[in-house]
């Protein structure tokens, strides 16, 4: 088991495992966001729970942050290594003939998602951490829903979010099956898995876009 991250296949596994974790998290995030449309009260309750339960805050949250950082850092490390593996590029290269645009541009879709994450953390996560741990304010009875609706009044912000989800969909369209292939799953179930992956990659980001647009246009308090 020693030094598994030093081997190309080990790194591939690690990339895939962090991807599975992030895809699961994304789904969970989506379900909670959807509550903000369906039931503001439940959304407030769940948000309070996620923000104040010690298990979520001090175990799941750090694991998530490590997962996110690992996936980004490893992604960039692999990109640099892969560029070194071909120092002279082709005068003419027809990548479109044999692979999808998504698969060849994971670094760009991933980079766009990183930029978005900084923006998004600054919108929601950082103010909340400051409020809780720096100012020491209790969040009991806080109207999280109101905060979300306010944030999405700004059309510019909605635009940024929608664009980011387009990049996320592009990233997932390759990333979903790719993660399964990396852990060695390529068998009779793969076809069904691929279809499921495409649905996930399109529907989840589309769902997030819907939520952002819903709050922007209907800003129901």
Partner 1 sequence: MNLTLKIWRQKNANDKGKMVDYQISDVSPDMSFLEMLDVLNEQLINKGDDPVAFDHDCREGICGMCSLYINGEAHGPDRGVTTCQLHMRMFNDGDTIYIEPFRASAFPVVKDLIVDRSAFDRIQHAGGFISVNTSGNTIDANAIPVEKHNADKAFEAATCIGCGACVATCKNSSAMLFVGAKVSQFALLPQGQVEATDRVLNMVKQMDEEGFGNCTNTGACEVECPKGISLENIARMNQEYLKASLKG
Binding site for partner 1 (CB under 8 A): 1, 4, 6-13, 78, 81-82, 84-95, 97-100, 103-104, 106, 174, 177-178, 181-187
Angle (deg, nearest 10), helices 144-151 and 190-218: 90
Q: Which long-range contacts (CB under 8 A, 24 or more apart) does 28-31 make?
A: 30/204, 30/207, 30/208
Query: Are 106 and 169 within 8 A, CB to CB?
Result: no
Instruction: Indicate the residue among 61 and 103 with the shorter CB distance to partner 1.
Output: 103
Q: Least Å distance between CB 113 and partner 1?
A: 16
Q: Least Å distance between CB 185 and partner 1?
A: 6
Instruction: Indicate the residue among 10 and 159 with the shorter CB distance to partner 1.
Output: 10
Q: Least Å distance between CB 110 and partner 1?
A: 11
Question: What is the distance between the alpha carbons of residues 71 and 18, in angstroms, rounded to a whole number?
Answer: 6
Instruction: Indicate the residue among 125 and 196 with the shorter CB distance to partner 1.
Output: 196
Instruction: Indicate the residue among 5 and 199 with the shorter CB distance to partner 1.
Output: 5
Instruction: Indicate the residue among 89 and 138 with the shorter CB distance to partner 1.
Output: 89
What six digits make up the tokens of 179? 């993660």
Instruction: Indicate the residue among 28 and 82 with the shorter CB distance to partner 1.
Output: 82
Q: Least Å distance between CB 174 and partner 1?
A: 8
Q: Least Å distance between CB 11 and partner 1?
A: 6
Q: Least Å distance between CB 184 and partner 1?
A: 4
Q: Which long-range contacts (CB under 8 A, 24 or more apart) does 199-202 make?
A: 200/23, 200/27, 200/172, 200/176, 201/169, 201/172, 201/173, 201/175, 201/176, 202/169, 202/173
Phi and psi angles of residue 7, each rounded to the nearest 5 degrees, phi first: -105, 155
Question: What is the distance between the alpha carbons of residues 51 and 45, in angstroms, rounded to a whole number?
Answer: 10
**157-191 burial, b for 16+ CB within 10 Å, e for fewer?**
bbebbeebbebbbbbbbbbbbbbbebeeeeeeeee
């Amino acid at each position: 088991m020693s030094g598994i991250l030093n081997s190309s296949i080990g790194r591939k596994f690690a990339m895939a495992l962090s991807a599975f974790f992030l895809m699961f998290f994304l789904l969970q995030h989506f379900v909670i966001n959807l509550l903000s449309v369906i039931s503001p009260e439940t959304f407030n309750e769940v948000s309070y729970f996620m923000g104040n339960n010690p298990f979520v805050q001090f175990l799941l949250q750090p694991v998530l942050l490590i997962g996110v950082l690992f996936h980004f850092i490893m992604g960039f490390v692999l990109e640099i290594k892969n560029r070194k593996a071909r120092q002279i590029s082709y005068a003419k290269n027809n990548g479109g003939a044999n692979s999808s645009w998504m698969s060849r541009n994971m670094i760009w879709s991933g980079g766009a998602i990183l930029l978005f994450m900084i923006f998004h953390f600054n919108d929601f996560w950082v103010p909340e951490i400051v409020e809780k741990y720096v100012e020491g304010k209790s969040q009991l009875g806080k109207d999280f829903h109101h905060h979300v609706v306010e944030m999405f009044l700004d059309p510019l912000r909605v635009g940024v979010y929608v664009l980011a989800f387009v990049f996320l969909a592009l990233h997932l369209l390759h990333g979903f099956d790719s993660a399964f292939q990396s852990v060695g799953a390529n068998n009779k179930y793969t076809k069904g898995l691929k279809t499921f992956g495409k649905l996930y990659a399109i529907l989840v980001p589309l769902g997030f876009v819907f939520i952002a647009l819903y709050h922007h246009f209907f800003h129901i308090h």
